[in-house]
């Protein structure tokens, strides 16, 4: 009997322990937390996997901590080897070997240096056997990490720097210090004035057969150069990760205003007429094409961030790749499609659309359907009169002259509409059962819109005449000085119009409130009814 | 104890009756898809147009004669808290901040008037019905108050008058069915200043929604919420942000609620039909097992008895035989004795008393 | 035997009477409150959480734990295991009381309880699983009443009617099993309409099967559990057959329950695999799910198996309590814990003390009625007039 009771007790105890373990498991699952310990300067070292090896996770290497630890050494040579007076930003080797060999390089050198530091009595990194101290699973970029934008200002500071010397002794500009091209015949990079293009055209996000990745190229070139200049001049670019990639540090980078135009023998004005570029064209060919566009290249240079804003692959002219009927070089995209793509930021229409979505313009333009083209709109750009062309074949200078003439002829006075043409107050009494009639300050609003875009050259160019602006509100009808009133088209809501046009109330409120929102006008608030509608007394 | 044939038949009849009654539900499993009553109405809520003025809440309150709210409708501070529909508000507007630099988004919620409503499917007294106007109607004269509709509703819309002791009701948007039938607009749609609510037939609204997306691809997410969700709803939504960022769940799926429970419902007639047969079978087997066991016992007893009798007979016969033999032997012995005596007597030729003794002896043996 | 009862009846202030009396008193006060101030005044229910403890415990657990009725009568009459015969009557009584209390509890939970007959007689919503549940519970309650009635009729001495009803036993048993299969499973299927609200680990297309299977072992566990309670408190009411058979009943059901529970664990795992919900196991919800499935099903099943093997009655009784708790945990998980799992914690439901008090009140009423019936009617013993009839 006693034996039996003991046995029973044992069984109960075992079951109780199992239950306890389960409950502990639950509580541990509920309480697990993870903190974001990723630093800004992390270089993630992760060698390719060797099949058959049980691979450890990679190493998030805190680069700046190591740079600072070696502060007394003047350069990067503690960790990086040199080739042709430039550092190669691999660790202790010039080229990648087999993963096993590279791993040995890391293990030997890292641990050796850590051990040395330790024996010198300083704090050091992990030693032999502390595998998981380096090989942790934390990876990815730190939240504060930002890509650096080499914008026009930074570019200009490099162009105008006295410290930088051109790559060729006889060059009178700094360009060849950085810009180079790959010479197919000698299979080497060469530096040649007038061939500068964007780094990104060759250095892609991933390395290609011919070019290292943009990441590799920019670190190798920029950091090496900054490092070498450090010995000669007082002020040079950053060599630490944070110097370029910390969002806060980026804010402090000096910005130069009024940057002069970059010189690379580009035209001031271009007559966009690809059909005549090869042979100078003919009168016969002209009959079958769109009117040419006179393109102001200078103005666009100043408005765009960089050449890459439009020239996304090369600085050659657009029609070289985007031929009239489409070519393999241009990814099969026809010239007309390339110019009119409303989604791409490299196309005319796409970029202009972005401009129309800025606050000054969006009041009217946001309400316009994205993909709608009208015949009126085409002529805004395709404005070169066919009569002005010729005689054929036209030389390059002749074409430029035609474009210049066209652009000059469109310089005109903007916003000259006299008050008498603009009604001052419009009475709106659509909701007279609830509210007093609204005195709509029509002229004040028109003038406010005029003021916002008066200085805008693009607006002046494209709003063919002042009445065009009226069409912002008085839409969907030819612009005239006496447009139809709103109630002419908008009436009772939801009366089975297949075009989905709003009723009068929806149209008024939609127009006023959407415009205020788009233009950032906070007063009157859309929800503040009595600011516009006086309550019936 | 057992069942008679008549009882069994009566009981089969009852089972069939139940399954026929439930049979209606089984049809839910099929490849038919209900796309709403033709010409039924709905509302398209374009959240990019909504300014959060709460006029719709006010109109709803007035039209449905709901109690006046504690905080007036023109107090927009209410929007700072996320709200849901309640027994005194069939519709509420919620406010969502969706990223830096963009304007806030406002979303009005109310009963979505599903094409195949979960509440109607769940209601065990048919208090909810999908009307041909598009409205999902509620009949409080039938409602028991089990609140399964509230459990079932994927949009968490129906509310309950918990503080009503005797006559609590489920409260939700009616799509202003009485007004629609009179040719008027629903209260909220009529008052909306920005036409953020568009009223029309559901088919038209889907076309209009698609047209807006097509004309302003940058403004809208390319999805009409409610076109497919939970099998489709009469209220439809357009948004500039991901729908789950503005409180509309994207994980509801496209299966109409009735299909979710169609499986178990269709199993009912099968169980009613199959179980009794199986169970009776099991019973019959176990009974037969018992019966056979009984019979075997009886025959075993009988066999044992018979065996015993036979053995007894044999033994008796043997005994008789033995007795007879003994008797014979005894007679022979006596005869012999008598003969010997007679021979002795004859030899001696005297004493007649001795003769009488010899004659009496075999008599005693019998 | 009769000495004991007389003494118990004469003393009014027994600890049992005092506790039960005060619970019932509080219950009555809360009942008045419920029907004068509304559900909102006594519960923490709100629009997001329309079902609370009264559904999760009183209805779901009540029905599942009353499954002993159909399980035992099926074992005895359909599977022909006559040694379970003495367990049938107490099991039927518990089932009958259980269902009666479920219906009683529903009167608190639904808004207009006098309309409870509506779905059955007035406006049947045949597309609803709740309708099916309602209809089956109603019919099954009738069946249980008839099944139970011989005990009352023997007590009252109506021999003729009693004999007629006893002859219906098999039909009633089969009918009872059919109805139980339907509504036990349908209670689980109720939640299938809300996949967006129930956590994926608990939501499954097999919910009805899970509910049905778990009701089987819950019923068995309840029979064992009640048996042990009756042994302790109503020992004097038991006849020799009952006493002789009770260990066999407990260990027999322990063995059966061990099998059913392992099968249940198996189909739960199949459900996980079919919906490919493995990854949820690594979350806090997964841990809780495993606590329920392993801690409160697999382990008690193991304990049952051990008890049956070692013929250890004590362990079987502990395993019974453990399994009953597991069942309650499962039903509460599905109806309350894992339901509305995506809502922020501020909008989640936790019962008010008054809801708990009403649930306790209802259970107490059940115990009091059970005690009355089993001390007065031939439940735990056979009526001397009808002995050796079967």
The residue of chain C with its CA nearest to that of A30 is C284
A193 to each of A157, A171, A320, B277, C345, how far by Cα in Å? 19, 7, 22, 97, 68
> What does the pLDDT read at residue A27?
55
Question: Is B144 within 8 Å of C118 when comparing Cβ atoms?
Answer: yes
Distance CA A534, CA A529 (A): 8
Tens digit of each residue's pLDDT (9 = 90 or more) over A85-120: 778 888 888 888 888 888 888 888 888 888 888 888
**Is the model's pLDDT at A14 over the cut of 80?**
no
Site from C174, C183, C348 to mutate, B interface, most B CB atoms within 10 angstroms? C174
Whether C127 and B25 have beta carbons less than 8 Å apart is answered as yes
B12 close to C (CB below 8 A): no
**Is the model's pLDDT at B294 over the cut of 80?**
yes
Cα-based angle B260, B262, B264 (whole degrees, multiple of 5):
100
The residue of chain A with its CA nearest to that of B205 is A500
Whether C201 and C334 have beta carbons less than 8 Å apart is answered as no
A155 to each of A85, A253, A256, A307, how far by Cα in Å? 24, 12, 10, 12
- Least Cα distance to A111 among A97, A124, A94 occurs for A124
Question: Is C287 within 8 Å of A18 when comparing Cβ atoms?
Answer: no
Q: What number is the average pLDDT over the span A312-340?
A: 89
Of C38, C110, C197, the CB nearest to B146: C110
Q: What is the DSSP letter of C309?
A: H
C318 close to A (CB below 8 A): yes
Contacts of A345 in chain B (CB under 8 A): none
Contacts of B86 in chain C (CB under 8 A): 47
Question: Is B215 within 8 Å of A517 when comparing Cβ atoms?
Answer: no
Greater confidence (B359 vs A214) lies with A214
Tell me which range, A19-28, B255-264, C230-239, is most confidently predicted by mean pLDDT: B255-264
C281 close to A (CB below 8 A): no
Cβ neighbours of residue C176 closer than 8 Å, sequence gap 6 or more: C69, C70, C73, C74, C140, C143, C144, C147
Tens digit of each residue's pLDDT (9 = 90 or more) over C59-91: 999 999 889 889 998 888 888 888 888 888 888
- A72 phi and psi angles, rounded to 5 deg: -70, -20
> What does the pLDDT read at residue C389?
55
Q: What is the DSSP letter of A465?
A: S
Cβ neighbours of residue A356 closer than 8 Å, sequence gap 6 or more: A362, A365, A366
Q: Find where tokens 């209260």 sit.
A: B187
**Is the model's pLDDT at A177 over the cut of 60?**
yes
**Is the model's pLDDT at A17 over the cut of 80?**
no
**Is the model's pLDDT at A5 over the cut of 60?**
yes
- Least Cα distance to B29 among B269, B275, B271, B264 occurs for B264
Question: Is B150 within 8 Å of C47 when comparing Cβ atoms?
Answer: yes
Of A498, A502, A517, the CB nearest to B195: A502
Of A494, A498, A505, the CB nearest to B193: A505
Of C284, C294, C314, the CB nearest to A22: C294
Residues found in chain A = 537
Distance CA B64, CA B71 (A): 18
Question: Is C288 within 8 Å of A25 when comparing Cβ atoms?
Answer: no
Q: Output the CA torsion A99→A100→A102→A104 (10° steps).
A: 160
**Is the model's pLDDT at B351 over the cut of 60?**
no
Kindly give the residue spans of alpha helices, DSSP state H, lying in A426-503: 442-453, 457-462, 467-470
Q: pLDDT band for position B101 (50/70/90)?
A: low
Distance CA C320, CA C323 (A): 5
Of B185, B194, B216, the CB nearest to A506: B194
Kindly give the residue spans of alpha helices, DSSP state H, lying in chain C: 2-10, 15-37, 39-42, 53, 62-65, 68-73, 85-109, 118-121, 129-156, 159-167, 169-189, 207-233, 240-274, 284-290, 299-310, 313-332, 353-376
Distance CA A262, CA A155 (A): 10
The residue of chain A with its CA nearest to that of C282 is A29
Question: Is C192 within 8 Å of B163 when comparing Cβ atoms?
Answer: no
Whether C157 and C377 have beta carbons less than 8 Å apart is answered as no
Tell me which range, A107-121, A365-379, A470-484, C18-32, is most confidently predicted by mean pLDDT: C18-32
Cα-based angle C340, C60, C268 (whole degrees, multiple of 5):
70
Question: Is B103 within 8 Å of A517 when comparing Cβ atoms?
Answer: yes
Q: What is the DSSP letter of C198?
A: B
The verdict on whether omega for the bond into residue A246 sits within 30 degrees of 0, i.e. cis, is no
> What does the pLDDT read at residue A203?
92
Q: pLDDT band for position A34 (50/70/90)?
A: very low
**Is the model's pLDDT at C349 over the cut of 50?**
yes
**Is the model's pLDDT at B71 over the cut of 70?**
yes
Q: pLDDT band for position A35 (50/70/90)?
A: very low
Q: What number is the average pLDDT over the span B278-287?
A: 89
Beta B41-46 vs B235-238: how paired, if at all?
A: parallel
Distance CA B94, CA B155 (A): 14
Q: pLDDT band for position B221 (50/70/90)?
A: very high
Q: What number is the average pLDDT over the span B287-307?
A: 89
Whether C130 and C79 have beta carbons less than 8 Å apart is answered as no
Both tokens of C11, joined, read: 């003393």
Q: What number is the average pLDDT over the span A129-152?
A: 76
Distance CA B109, CA B54 (A): 11
Tens digit of each residue's pLDDT (9 = 90 or more) over C138-183: 999 999 889 888 888 888 878 888 888 888 888 888 999 999 999 9
Q: In DSSP terms, which residues pair with B317 in a beta bridge?
A: none
Please tell me the distance in Å from C287's CA to the nearest CA on chain A.
5
The verdict on whether omega for the bond into residue C76 sits within 30 degrees of 0, i.e. cis, is no
> What does the pLDDT read at residue B353?
53
Please tell me the distance in Å from C299's CA to the nearest CA on chain B.
30
Which H helix or E strand runs over B343? helix B257-348
Interface predicted TM-score of the whole assembly (ipTM), two decimals: 0.89
**Is the model's pLDDT at B173 over the cut of 60?**
yes
Beta A438-440 vs A426-428: how paired, if at all?
A: antiparallel
Flag the least confident range among A271-285, B205-219, B246-260, C215-229. Answer: A271-285
C325 to each of A229, B302, C223, C330, how far by Cα in Å? 77, 54, 14, 9
What secondary structure, in 3-state letters, does A372-417 show? CCCHHHHHHHCCCCHHHCCCCCCCHHHHHHHHHHHHHHCCCCCCCC
Tens digit of each residue's pLDDT (9 = 90 or more) over A488-529: 889 888 886 678 889 999 999 999 999 999 998 988 888 888
Distance CA C21, CA C27 (A): 10
Question: Is B265 within 8 Å of C196 when comparing Cβ atoms?
Answer: no
Contacts of C71 in chain B (CB under 8 A): none
Cα-based angle A524, A530, A534 (whole degrees, multiple of 5):
130
Q: Find where tokens 């009024």 sit.
A: A258
The helices-and-strands tally (H runs, E runs) of chain A is 21, 10
Q: Under the phi-then-psi rule, with left for phi > 0, alpha for psi from -120 to 50, and beta for the rest, what region is A427? A: beta
Helices C313-332 and C240-274: crossing angle, nearest 10°?
Answer: 40
Report long-range pairs for C31-35 (Cβ below 8 Å, ≥24 apart): C31/C108, C31/C358, C31/C361, C33/C354, C34/B165, C34/C108, C34/C358, C35/B165, C35/B166
Give the CA radius of gyration of chain B: 49
Q: What is the DSSP letter of C58?
A: I
Q: What number is the average pLDDT over the span A152-170?
A: 86
Both tokens of A262, joined, read: 């970059």
Beta B235-238 vs A59-62: how paired, if at all?
A: unpaired
Of B49, B192, B211, the CB nearest to A500: B211
Q: What is the DSSP letter of B69?
A: P
Sheet holding B235-238, edge to edge: B197-201, B41-46, B235-238
Distance CA A319, CA A335 (A): 6
Site from A519, A527, A530 to mutate, B interface, most B CB atoms within 10 angstroms? A527
Both tokens of A237, joined, read: 């670019």
C314 close to A (CB below 8 A): yes
Site from A5, A19, A27 to mutate, C interface, most C CB atoms within 10 angstroms? A19
Q: Output the CA torsion C302→C305→C310→C311 (10° steps).
A: 130
Greater confidence (A205 vs C378) lies with A205
Distance CA C363, CA C65 (A): 12
* Average of per-residue pLDDT values in chain C: 87
Distance CA A327, CA A333 (A): 7
């Amino acid at each position: 009997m006693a034996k039996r009771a003991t046995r029973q007790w044992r069984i109960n105890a075992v079951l109780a322990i199992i239950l306890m373990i389960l409950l502990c498991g639950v509580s541990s699952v509920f309480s697990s937390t993870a903190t974001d310990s990723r630093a800004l300067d992390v270089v993630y070292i992760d060698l390719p996997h060797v099949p058959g090896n049980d691979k450890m996770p990679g190493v998030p290497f805190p680069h700046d901590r190591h740079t600072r630890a070696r502060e007394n050494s003047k350069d990067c040579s503690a960790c990086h080897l040199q080739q042709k007076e430039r550092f190669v930003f691999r660790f202790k080797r010039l080229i990648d070997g087999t993963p096993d060999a590279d791993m040995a390089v890391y293990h030997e050198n890292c641990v050796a240096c850590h051990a040395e530091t330790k024996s010198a009595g300083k704090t050091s990194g992990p030693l032999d056997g502390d595998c998981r101290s380096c090989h942790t699973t934390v990876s990815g970029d730190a939240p504060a990490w930002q890509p650096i934008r080499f914008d026009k200002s930074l570019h200009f500071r490099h162009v105008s720097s006295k410290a930088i010397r051109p790559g060729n002794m006889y060059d009178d500009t700094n360009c060849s210090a950085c810009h180079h091209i790959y010479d197919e015949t000698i299979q080497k990079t060469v530096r040649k004035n007038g061939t500068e293009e964007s780094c990104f055209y060759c250095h892609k996000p991933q390395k290609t057969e011919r070019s290292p990745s943009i990441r590799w190229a920019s670190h190798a070139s920029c950091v090496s150069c900054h490092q070498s200049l450090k010995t000669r001049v007082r002020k040079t670019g950053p060599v630490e990760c944070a110097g370029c990639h910390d969002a806060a540090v980026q804010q402090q980078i000096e910005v130069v205003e009024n940057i002069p135009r970059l010189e690379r023998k580009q035209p001031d004005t271009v007559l966009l007429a690809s059909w005549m570029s090869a042979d100078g064209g003919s009168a016969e060919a002209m009959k079958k094409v769109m009117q040419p566009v006179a393109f102001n290249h200078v103005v666009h240079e100043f408005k765009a961030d960089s050449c890459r804003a439009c020239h996304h692959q090369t600085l050659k002219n657009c029609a070289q790749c985007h031929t009239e009927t489409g070519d393999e070089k241009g990814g099969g995209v026809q010239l007309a499609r390339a110019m009119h793509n409303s989604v791409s930021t490299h196309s005319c229409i796409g970029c202009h659309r972005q401009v129309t979505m800025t606050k000054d313009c969006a009041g009217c333009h946001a309400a316009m359907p994205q993909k709608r083209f009208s015949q009126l709109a085409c002529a805004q750009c395709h404005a070169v009169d066919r009569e002005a062309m010729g005689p054929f074949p036209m030389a390059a200078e002749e074409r430029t002259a035609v474009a210049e003439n066209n652009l000059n002829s469109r310089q005109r006075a903007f916003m000259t509409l006299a008050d008498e043409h603009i009604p001052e107050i419009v009475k709106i009494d659509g909701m007279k059962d609830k509210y007093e009639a609204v005195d709509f300050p029509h002229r004040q609003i028109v003038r406010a819109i005029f003021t916002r875009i008066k200085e805008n050259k693009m607006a002046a160019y494209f709003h063919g005449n002042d009445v065009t602006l009226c069409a912002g509100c008085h839409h969907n009808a030819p612009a005239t000085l006496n447009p139809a009133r709103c109630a002419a088209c908008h009436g009772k809501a939801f009366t089975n119009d297949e075009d989905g046009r709003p009723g009068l109330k929806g149209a008024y409120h939609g127009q006023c409130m959407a415009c205020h929102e788009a233009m950032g006008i906070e007063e009157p608030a859309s929800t503040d009814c009595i600011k516009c509608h006086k309550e019936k007394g | 104890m057992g069942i008679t044939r008549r009882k069994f038949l009566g009981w089969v009849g009852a089972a069939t009756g139940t399954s026929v009654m439930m049979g209606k539900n089984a049809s839910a499993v099929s490849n038919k898809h209900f796309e709403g009553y033709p010409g039924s109405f709905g509302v398209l809520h374009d959240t990019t147009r909504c300014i959060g003025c709460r006029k719709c809440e006010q109109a709803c309150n007035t039209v449905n004669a709901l109690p006046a709210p504690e905080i007036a409708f023109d107090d927009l501070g209410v929007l700072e808290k996320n709200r849901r529909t309640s027994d005194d508000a069939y519709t509420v507007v919620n406010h969502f901040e969706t990223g830096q630099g963009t304007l806030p988004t406002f979303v009005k919620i109310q009963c979505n008037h599903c094409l195949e409503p979960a509440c109607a499917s769940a209601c065990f007294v048919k208090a909810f019905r999908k009307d041909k106007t598009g409205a999902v109607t509620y009949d409080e004269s039938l409602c028991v108050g089990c609140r399964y509709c509230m459990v079932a509703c994927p949009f968490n819309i129906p509310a309950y008058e918990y503080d009503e002791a005797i006559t609590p009701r489920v409260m939700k948007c009616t799509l202003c069915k009485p007004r629609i039938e009179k040719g008027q607009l629903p209260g909220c749609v009529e008052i909306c200043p920005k036409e953020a609510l568009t009223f029309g037939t559901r088919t038209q609204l889907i076309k209009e929604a698609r047209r807006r997306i097509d004309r302003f691809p940058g403004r809208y997410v390319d999805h009409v919420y409610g076109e497919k969700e939970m099998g489709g709803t009469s209220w439809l939504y357009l948004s500039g942000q991901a729908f789950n960022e503005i409180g509309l769940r994207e994980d509801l799926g496209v299966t109409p609620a009735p299909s979710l429970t169609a499986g178990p419902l269709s199993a009912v007639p099968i169980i009613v039909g199959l179980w009794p047969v199986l169970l009776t079978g099991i019973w019959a087997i176990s009974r037969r097992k018992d019966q056979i066991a009984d019979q075997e016992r009886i025959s075993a007893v009988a066999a044992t008895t018979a065996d015993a009798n036979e053995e007894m007979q044999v033994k008796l016969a043997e005994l008789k035989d033995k007795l007879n033999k003994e008797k014979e032997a005894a007679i022979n012995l006596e005869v012999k004795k008598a003969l010997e005596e007679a021979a002795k007597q004859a030899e001696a030729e005297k004493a007649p008393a001795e003769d009488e003794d010899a004659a009496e002896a075999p008599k005693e043996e019998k | 035997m009769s000495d004991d009862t007389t003494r118990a009846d004469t003393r009014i202030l027994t600890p049992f009477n005092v506790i039960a009396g005060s619970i019932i008193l509080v219950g009555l006060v809360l009942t008045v409150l419920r029907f004068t101030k509304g559900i909102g005044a006594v519960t923490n229910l709100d629009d997001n959480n329309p079902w609370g403890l009264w559904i999760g415990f009183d209805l779901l657990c009540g029905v599942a734990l009353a499954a002993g009725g159909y399980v035992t009568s099926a074992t005895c009459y359909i599977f022909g295991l006559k040694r379970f015969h003495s367990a049938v009557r107490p099991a039927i009584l518990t089932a009958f009381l259980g269902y009666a209390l479920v219906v009683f509890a529903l009167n608190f939970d639904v808004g207009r309880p006098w309309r409870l007959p509506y779905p059955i007689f007035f406006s049947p919503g045949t597309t609803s699983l709740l309708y099916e549940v309602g209809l089956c519970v109603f019919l099954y309650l009738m069946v249980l009443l008839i099944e139970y009635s011989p005990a009352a009729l023997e007590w009252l001495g109506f021999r003729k009617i009693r004999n007629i009803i006893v002859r219906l036993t098999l039909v009633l048993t089969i009918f009872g099993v059919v109805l139980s299969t339907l509504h036990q499973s349908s209670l689980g299927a109720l939640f299938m309409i809300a996949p967006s609200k129930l956590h994926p680990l608990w939501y499954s297309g097999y919910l009805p099967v899970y509910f049905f299977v778990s009701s089987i072992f819950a019923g068995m566990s309840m029979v064992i559990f009640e048996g042990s309670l009756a042994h302790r408190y109503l020992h004097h009411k038991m006849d020799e057959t009952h006493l002789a058979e009770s260990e066999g009943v407990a260990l027999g059901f322990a063995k059966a329950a061990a099998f059913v529970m392992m099968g249940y664990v198996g189909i739960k795992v199949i459900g996980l695999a079919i919906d490919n919900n493995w990854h949820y196991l690594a979350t806090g919800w997964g841990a809780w799910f495993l606590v329920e499935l392993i801690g409160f099903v697999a382990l008690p099943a193991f304990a049952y198996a051990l008890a049956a093997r070692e013929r250890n009655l004590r362990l079987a009784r502990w395993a019974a309590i453990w399994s009953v708790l597991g069942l309650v945990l499962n039903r509460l998980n599905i109806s309350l814990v894992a339901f509305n799992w995506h809502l922020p914690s501020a909008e989640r439901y936790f019962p008010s003390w008054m809801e708990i008090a009403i649930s306790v009140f209802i259970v107490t009423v059940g115990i009091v009625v059970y005690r009355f019936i089993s001390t007065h009617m031939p439940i735990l013993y056979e009526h001397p007039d009808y002995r050796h009839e079967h």
